[in-house]
Amino acid sequence: MDSTSTKLGASAVQSIDRAADILRAVSKHSATGAKLADVVGETGLTRATAHRLLQALVATRLLEQDTVASRYFLGVWLIHLSEQASERFGLERLTLQSRARLSERTGDTIFLTTRIGASMICSARTEGSFPVKVLTLEVGSTRPLGVGAGGLAIMAFLSEAEQKLVLKACADQYSRFNLDRDRVAALCAEARKHGYSIDRNIVLPGVTGVGIPLRGPDGEIVASLSIAAISERMTEDRIEEVGALLKEEAETLAALMKSTDHRTGTLG
């Protein structure tokens, strides 16, 4: 590869990284929409660069713009891509009954998150019956791996080499979620010890989440299931109980995925 190709490659990677940062920033304001100032503040980009990339993402339908309120929202096309990503192994469909059982047994909100490189995207959400609902993630929103119970569940059970790559790639993003590389590494170690991840009031004060990784037919980690509830409900005993329920469903899903042709969604 010549020097010109190398430079072009580096430029393309930088643009993709910046676009991903913008999508994450906008996803944090999914309910009210993100202003240009919000994106600039959370990404560190200049106003001109942020505005240019925002317009490019709007043009590709990954974002939508309310021109009257001057706010940006996740686009319908991004949600479509999320659905397609989850269908890599038929995850949204295959986990439907597991999510329903978990929400019925716990009363809390269940999240399915799918891994995309060093990031994760919320692919599905099942709300429980408990009056106080914790809706920490919108379907289609993204976060770096290691953030929240779902992202931590995926990252904690990757190989040591993969973890190092993710920590390096996401290091600059963790501060937005009250984390840093050392804290994420420590939480990964705790998750491996328990067999499930725990987020105690980190990303969102007053909310505790518990997560478990999901493995594809070849054993690779492709997603996670997590449960979020107000911290008052998540005593240590209940965390253990929830962790056990998640492990049970993860084992059920692992067996189901092995017997399912993920390309067609049919039992083999």
Instruction: List pLDDT tens digits, range 116-127.
Output: 778 888 888 898
Burial 108-119 (b: 16+ CB within 10 A, else e): bbbbbbbbbebb
Which tens digits make up the pLDDT trace of 48-67? 999 999 999 988 888 888 88
Please say whether the beta carbons of 147 and 166 come within 8 A: no
186 vs 131: which has the higher pLDDT: 186
Domain boundary among 22, 43, 74: 74
Q: Are residues 150 and 233 in the same domain?
A: yes
**Model pLDDT, residue 267:** 37
**CATH number of the domain where residue 151 is located:** 3.30.450.40
Domain's final residue, options 22, 46, 74 = 74
Domain end: 20, 43, 74, which one? 74
Do residue 92 and residue 40 come from a single domain?
no
In sequence order, what are the residues at sequence separation of 6 or more whose Cβ sits closer than 8 angstroms to the Cβ of residue 35?
A: 70, 71, 72
The total domain count for the chain is: 2
- Does 87 lie in the same domain as 67? no
CATH number reported for the structural domain that contains residue 40 in this entry: 1.10.10.10
Domain residues for the domain of 43 are 3-74
- State residue 241's pLDDT score: 96
